[in-house]
């Protein structure tokens, strides 16, 4: 068994592509967030920005990332205005907000209200952000 404190909180982009079964030639990881046991990644599945998926990964007892759910992320929403950050989607479990993702008009930190909760996010160079409950 691997000590979780010795592992990074989230998978690498290469791991996301491999575990998700995406083509390394075309797929592009837009954003990743992890809490050590679970991670969510936004993947442009064919590199053209049209089909963006939200992929869940979870860590097994040996520290390997395994696939969870995968779903279309609805990539057509574009934020309007200076410093605009918006939510595209989110998922909840019995404990409340579990993950969220969205877009921003420029890279950097921002805040967004999702499911009645205000969360701090970082918009990546891709214009996307993803958040997972710590």
Band (pLDDT 50/70/90 cuts) for residue 75 is: low
What is the percent of the chain where pLDDT is above 90? 54
Q: Which residues of 19-42 are buried (b: 16+ CB within 10 A; e: fewer)?
A: bbebeeeebbbbbbbbeeebbbbb
The domain segmentation of the chain, as residue ranges, is 4-72, 85-132
∠ CA 37-55-19, rounded to 5°:
75
When pLDDT is averaged across residues 13-39 and rounded to a whole number, the result is 96
Q: Answer yes or no: are the C-beta atoms of 75 and 52 closer than 8 Å.
A: yes
- Higher pLDDT among residues 4 and 103, named by residue: 103
What 3-state class would DSSP assign to 48? Answer: coil
Does the structure show a pLDDT above 70 at 66? yes
CA distance 87 to 68: 22
Q: Which of 26, 40, 35 is nearest to 89 (CA)?
A: 40
pLDDT at 79: 54
What is residue 87's predicted lDDT score, i.e. its pLDDT?
A: 76
In which band, very low, low, confident or very high, does the pLDDT at 14 lie, cut at 50, 70 and 90?
Answer: very high
Q: Which residues contact 83 (CB under 8 A, 6 or more apart)?
A: 105, 106, 110
């Amino acid at each position: 068994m691997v000590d979780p404190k010795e592992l990074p909180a989230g998978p690498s982009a290469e791991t996301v592509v491999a575990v998700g079964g995406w083509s390394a030639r075309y797929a592009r990881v837009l954003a990743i967030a992890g809490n050590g046991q679970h991670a969510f990644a936004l993947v442009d599945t064919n590199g053209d920005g049209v089909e963006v998926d939200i992929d869940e990964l979870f860590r097994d007892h040996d520290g390997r990332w395994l696939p969870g759910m995968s779903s279309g992320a609805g990539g057509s929403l574009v934020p309007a205005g200076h410093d605009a950050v918006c939510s595209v989607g989110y998922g909840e479990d019995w404990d409340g907000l579990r993950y969220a993702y969205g877009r921003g008009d420029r890279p950097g930190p921002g805040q967004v209200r999702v499911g009645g909760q205000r969360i701090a996010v970082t918009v990546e160079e891709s214009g996307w952000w993803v958040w997972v409950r710590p």
